[in-house]
Amino acid sequence: MTNRYSIIDLLKPLALTVIIDNKIRDPELSEFVVQADGVLELLGYGDVMTRQSILAWYYEHETELVARIKDARKNTYVLTALTRFKDDDMAVEAMYDAMLAISISDKEYHEHESDLVKSAASLWGYERPPFQVTGRK
């Protein structure tokens, strides 16, 4: 299988799902590693990274990703990360499922996380997300 994507292409949207709410929690980070491992395996990178190296990648790129999320061009950065997969049904489904799993792993509703997942759904051709998350009042 020819790899259409770089490691950064694949891990960036998943990492953004972890950091976009400005609260990095252990369940989200753990789920990031699990989901990233699955996406990498599915898309032809199964032997490239271990779970430990996925976590190391996250910590190596965290500062830059956080800075980009706080930047005035945040929306362009996120759009660029998400549109990379637009014409690949297998990648879209894998990325969407992984982002959703990461976003709900901490069992808390966060508007920014929800907006990111909704944006991904819209960009990738879902008329509406196939789930509804409600926050606590």
Ranges of each domain in the chain = 7-123
pTM confidence score: 0.83
pLDDT beneath 70, residues of the chain: 1-2, 24, 108-112, 126-137
pLDDT of residue 88: 86
pLDDT of residue 137: 42
pLDDT of residue 87: 81
pLDDT of residue 109: 62
Exposure string (b/e) for 44-83, b if CB count within 10 Å is 16 or more?
ebeeebeeeebbebbeebeeebbebbeeeeeeebbeebbe
pLDDT of residue 85: 85
pLDDT of residue 1: 45
